[in-house]
Amino acid sequence: MNYHELVHQIRTKKTNLCIGLDTDIKKIPQFLLKEKDPVFTFNKIIIEATHDLCVAYKPNIAFYESMGPKGWESLEKTMEVIPENLFTIADAKRGDIGNTSEMYARTFFEYYQFDAVTVAPYMGEDSVTPFLNYKDKWVIVLGLTSNKGSNDFQRLTFEGKSLYEHVFEKVSTWGNIHNLMFVVGATHADDFSQIRKKVPDHFLLVPGVGAQGGDAESIMEKGQNKNCGLLINVSRDILYAGNGHDFAETAREKTKLYANILSGKISV
């Protein structure tokens, strides 16, 4: 999916919600465990119940990987039931030397047909560029992450600038707004204005709303640009809103709550 199609979708649906598919077999409703592929069945039902209220899905790859080859089959089938017009993000946080990053790009862009993949910046340019060589595909580089540990290194200050600011400055020269986004955690609302000075036009993927405590309204006020420029991700708070036979309806109701918050603030 290209930049204009993504913005068009946000404009049409009046939402920039991304739903994180952190599907944990220990947390899905018990009665689904009798299904042949409970993780896929859960995802399929969640996607059917929510796809008109969001613009993107973000499977968290760790949750599939931890189930062995069968987990990857659940992921593959999940990708097949996500409607074509939704943006798909592999939340994989990969990154390695060039010839290995090429393999990761092949995995997520060619094999599983994702639109985007999250990548860690620590290993530098040759760990990121292999992901930039695909037309209408995206790399989403970790900038300032939502977790407590983001203070350990990301906020170390080098020459008056935090490490994460160096990441924004340097990484943004490797790609452009059509193939590169950044992760900025919703738990850092106060940093968004400063971050927008570094990357005014890029999309930012914002996890950490809901279970992790980030505030979607505040982020929308501080982080949008003229084409919205934000994808707000909610995972657990939607997926596990209910646990009974009506879990799909409960997830849809929770999705509507977020969709309403976002549509009330959206600038496009």
What is Dmax (Cα atoms) for the chain?
57
Q: 135 or 149, CB closer to a copy of itself?
A: 149
Q: Which residues lie near a copy of itself (CB under 8 A)?
A: 22, 60, 62-63, 65-70, 72-73, 76, 91, 93-101, 103-104, 106-107, 111-112, 120-128, 142, 145-154, 156-159, 163, 166-167, 170, 212
Confirm whether 93 is a catalytic residue. yes
From residue 25, alpha-carbon distances to 42, 171, 228, 244 in Å are: 9, 36, 34, 15
Q: Which of 14, 27, 34, 93 is catalytic?
A: 93
As to burial, measured by CB atoms within 10 angstroms (0-12 exposed, 13-18 middle, 19+ buried), residue 153 is exposed
Q: Is 206:181 a contact under the CB 8 Å cutoff?
A: no
> Residue 195 Cβ, how far from a copy of itself at the closest point, in Å?
16
Which residues have C-beta within 8 Å of that of residue 261, sequence separation ≥ 6? 216, 217, 220
* φ, ψ (nearest 5 deg) of residue 97: -60, 160
Cα distance between residue 110 and residue 39, in whole Å: 23
CB of 40 to a copy of itself, least distance (A): 13
Minimum CB separation from a copy of itself for residue 233, in Å?
Answer: 12
Q: Which is nearer to a copy of itself, 62 or 260 (CB)?
A: 62
Cβ proximity to a copy of itself: between 53 and 142 the closer is: 142
In the complex with a copy of itself, the residue whose CB is nearer, 206 or 228, is 206
**With respect to a copy of itself, which residue has the nearer C-beta, 128 or 184?**
128
CB of 174 to a copy of itself, least distance (A): 9
* The dihedral sign for the CA sequence 196, 224, 241, 42: negative
Minimum CB separation of residue 80 from a copy of itself in Å reads: 13
What are the Cα distances from residue 264, in Å, to 23, 63, 71, 216, 217?
29, 32, 37, 11, 9
Active site residues: 93
